[in-house]
Amino acid sequence: MASDVAAPIVSPELDVSDAGAGPPARTSPALGYGLSVLLVAAAGIVAFVVDRLVATPNLSLIFVLPVIVAALSFGWGPALVSAMLSVAVDDFFFIEPRFTFRVASPSDVWALALLLVVAAIASTVGAQSRGRALANRRAAEQAEALHRLAHAVIEAQPTTALLKIAAAALSQIFDAPAVVLAEKAGKLWLAATGGGAQPSAADMEAAHWSLANDKATRGETYPFDQAAFDFWPVQTSHRLVLGVKLQGLSGGRPRDPGRQVELVAAYLSAAAAGAPGEKRRRSA
């Protein structure tokens, strides 16, 4: 099979230099945790200033703020770390006896417990709100990508431009590298990329098998264990293969990626069916 597969190079007739860089990068988990720690440190400084300027019996509520901000900005994990760290800082620096984790007064024990409960509730609610906001944003990005591709089909843009838009749409829909491969003289060529994708020789072999057998393949799954991309064939007059690198995504593998890919494939099929050359072949 490998002898029939072209190396992953670009066809001279298909320029992919401006295929798009894909969606913007999101905050890394490590950065989220780090910033959550800094938020607690900032709350500690505020509590220290308030403690020096104002005679207040309890400063615990100040430490709820970094938990809420962490939950809304970085998710449940950083918010939980922020909540636990907030309790520790409040106990060590502001609860008598200070500079120790011992608590002398039962009322302070209740205050710390209440802080932990309030922080846990706030982090859960904030993380859920953030999750819904991210889901809505994802849906809007996917709709925008498909809308752009639909306009390209309606405007009957050249095949080269249409494939670039399709690759960029796939990359935006999945927030992952994507490729469109086109068959020429019995071999597959890299027609367009999204998100800086560069398929390997194993990926090209899986793509060739997908097109030849008219079946989708899944990366890192037998018999294509070395392939990183999932591939879906598009049986139009151009004979295309759509590929998305779904392995190693921060949010995990989508539940049913084929549904979105089939929408992109349908647009490409519609564009091929509406092309002048295809119309002449069908009328003949």
Q: Are 90 and 66 in contact (CB under 8 A)?
A: no
Asked whether the predicted pLDDT for residue 92 surpasses 70, the reply is yes
What mean pLDDT comes out for the span 92-110? 87
Residue 113 to residues 27, 78, 79, 87, 107: CA-CA distances in angstroms? 31, 19, 17, 8, 10
- What domain range is 246 assigned to? 2-24+175-283
Asked whether the predicted pLDDT for residue 145 surpasses 50, the reply is yes
- The number of domains in the chain is 2
What mean pLDDT comes out for the span 71-84? 87
Q: Are 168 and 145 in contact (CB under 8 A)?
A: yes
| Domain co-membership, 16 together with 34 | no
Q: What is the predicted pLDDT for the residue at 19? A: 37
| Domain co-membership, 254 together with 278 | yes
The CATH number of whichever domain residue 14 belongs to comes to 3.30.450
pLDDT band at 209 (very low <50, low <70, confident <90, very high): very high
Q: What is the predicted pLDDT for the residue at 163? A: 93
- Which class for 54: exposed (0-12), middle (13-18), buried (19 or more C-beta within 10 A)? exposed
Asked whether the predicted pLDDT for residue 7 surpasses 50, the reply is no
pLDDT band at 57 (very low <50, low <70, confident <90, very high): low
Q: Does residue 152 form part of some domain?
A: no
User: pLDDT tens digits, residue range 218-231?
Assistant: 999 999 999 999 99
Asked whether the predicted pLDDT for residue 26 surpasses 60, the reply is no
- pTM of the predicted model over 0.75: no
Chosen domain end from 74, 102, 134: 134
H/E stretch holding 187 reads: strand 187-194
- Which class for 240: exposed (0-12), middle (13-18), buried (19 or more C-beta within 10 A)? buried
Closest CA to 62 of 8, 118, 110, 14: 118
Q: Does residue 149 form part of some domain?
A: no
What mean pLDDT comes out for the span 99-128? 84
Q: What is the mean pLDDT of the chain?
A: 82
